[in-house]
């Protein structure tokens, strides 16, 4: 069984490089050969309507290059996660749309109408529909909490919206959850472990913004919500962010390209081992 780990050519963050290394060590145990390759190294030319990759059975895809993922799939490579699942998670507006009417609770959310980046939004009148504050504004594409903003009132919302890229974004009810969330790690359709993240200085609990991570045990309700979402999005593995407020539980987002180093440190469970086992079983046809 020959595999590759495909990573983004331009992300030089140390935590990302550490993750690639953790995945490499675990997956090497279950295959005959494993190479790490950047998207820039293997992006082929499509010639005579075809793209070819030599002797690759599977790709662990740690990039978000859905074109490359699809080219690999079309040439017979099993890609973990699939191009469709990565695309479904990468755009938060699309993730919410997929999960809507499926019984998964999410904060009240408004997705702005689609615009072309040539036109942007000539006015923001559509935001008159927002009659609940505070709100969390999220760019459709974003991660590590960096494209997520809090607006206490209409004028703050308009100010944030004016400065966003010329594309769809989300406006979401702010849920009072004590600046904490639960990150659930999923593999093969099952919730495997979880950590709580709490930030005393920011409503965003992302570890990269100073969120402190601690191990939590998985309760049935949280595991079920994560498992349903993972199934609807067709994921092999992922990290799901869930918040609690009183009796209510809300799904915030699903990460197809999950960082595993904090999870491993805090829970003592190496998520990469689960992924290695899942890849092995899938390629051998046991899943």
Ligand X SMILES: Nc1ncnc2c1ncn2[C@@H]1O[C@H](COP(=O)(O)OP(=O)(O)O)[C@@H](O)[C@H]1O
Three-state secondary-structure class, residue 27 = helix
Contact 89, 256 (CB under 8 A): yes
End-to-end CA gap in the chain: 16
CB of 130 to Mg ion, least distance (A): 22
Phi, then psi, of 79 in degrees rounded to 5: -105, 130
Which residue number, 147 or 228, has a Cβ lying nearer to ligand X?
Answer: 147
CB of 150 to ligand X, least distance (A): 8
Q: Does 144 bind ligand X (CB under 6 A)?
A: yes
User: Using CB under 6 A, which of 9, 73, 142, 228 touches ligand X?
Assistant: 142
* Structure token pair of residue 234: 């067709």
Which residue number, 82 or 257, has a Cβ lying nearer to ligand X?
Answer: 257
x-marked contacts with ligand X along 226-265 as a string, rule CB under 6 A: ---------------x-x--------xx------------
Pairing state of beta strands 135-139 and 148-151? antiparallel
Mark the segment that binds ligand X (CB under 6 A) among 42-50, 116-124, 175-183, 261-269.
Answer: 175-183
User: Using CB under 5 A, which of 241, 262, 276, 279 touches Mg ion?
Assistant: 241
x-marked contacts with ligand X along 77-106 as a string, rule CB under 6 A: ------------------------------
Contacts with Mg ion by CB under 5 A: the residue count is: 2
In the DSSP assignment, the letter for residue 141 is S
Contact 77, 94 (CB under 8 A): no
Which residue number, 181 or 273, has a Cβ lying nearer to ligand X?
Answer: 181
Q: Does 213 bind ligand X (CB under 6 A)?
A: no
CA distance 32 to 2: 6
Which residues lie below 8 Å from residue 12, measured CB to CB, with a gap of 6+?
A: none
User: Using CB under 6 A, which of 149, 203, 237, 274 touches ligand X?
Assistant: 203
CB of 2 to ligand X, least distance (A): 33
Which residue number, 4 or 140, has a Cβ lying nearer to ligand X?
Answer: 140
CB of 75 to Mg ion, least distance (A): 32
* Structure token pair of residue 195: 């950590």
DSSP 152-220: SSHHHHHHHHHTS-SS-EEEEEPP--TTEEEEEEEETTEEEEEEEEE-SS-S---GGGTPEEEEEPPPH
> What number of CA atoms fall less than 13 Å from residue 70's CA on the CB side?
8
Which residue number, 255 or 267, has a Cβ lying nearer to ligand X?
Answer: 255
Kindly list the residues in this chain that would bind Mg ion in the complex (CB under 5 A).
241, 253
Binding site for ligand X (CB under 6 A): 107, 136, 138, 142-145, 148, 172-175, 177, 181, 203-206, 241, 243, 252-253
């Amino acid at each position: 069984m020959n595999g590759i780990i495909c990573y983004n050519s331009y992300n030089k963050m140390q935590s990302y490089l550490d993750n690639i290394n953790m995945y490499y060590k675990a997956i090497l145990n279950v295959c005959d050969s494993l190479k790490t390759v950047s998207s820039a190294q293997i992006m082929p030319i499509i010639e005579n309507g075809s793209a070819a990759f030599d002797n690759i059975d599977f790709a662990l895809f740690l990039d978000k290059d859905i074109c490359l993922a699809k080219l690999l799939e079309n040439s017979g490579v099993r890609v973990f996660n699939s191009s469709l699942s990565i695309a479904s998670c990468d755009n938060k507006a699309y993730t919410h749309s997929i999960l809507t009417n499926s019984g998964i609770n999410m904060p009240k959310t408004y997705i702005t109408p689609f615009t072309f980046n040539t036109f942007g939004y000539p006015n923001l009148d559509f935001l008159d529909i927002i009659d609940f504050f505070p709100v969390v504004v999220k760019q459709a594409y974003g991660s590590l909490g960096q494209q997520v903003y809090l607006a206490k009132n209409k004028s703050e919302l308009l100010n944030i919206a004016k400065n966003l890229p010329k594309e769809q974004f989300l406006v979401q009810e702010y849920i009072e959850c004590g600046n904490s969330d639960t990150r659930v790690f999923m593999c093969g359709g099952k919730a495997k472990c979880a950590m709580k993240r709490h930030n005393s200085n920011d409503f965003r609990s992302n570890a990269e913004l100073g969120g402190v991570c601690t191990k939590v045990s998985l309760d049935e309700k949280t595991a079920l919500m994560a498992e349903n979402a993972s199934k609807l999005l067709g994921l092999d593995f992922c990290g799901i962010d869930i918040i609690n407020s009183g009796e209510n539980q809300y799904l915030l987002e699903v990460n197809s390209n999950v960082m595993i180093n904090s999870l491993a440190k805090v829970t003592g469970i190496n998520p990469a081992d689960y992924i290695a086992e899942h890849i092995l079983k899938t390629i051998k046809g046991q899943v």
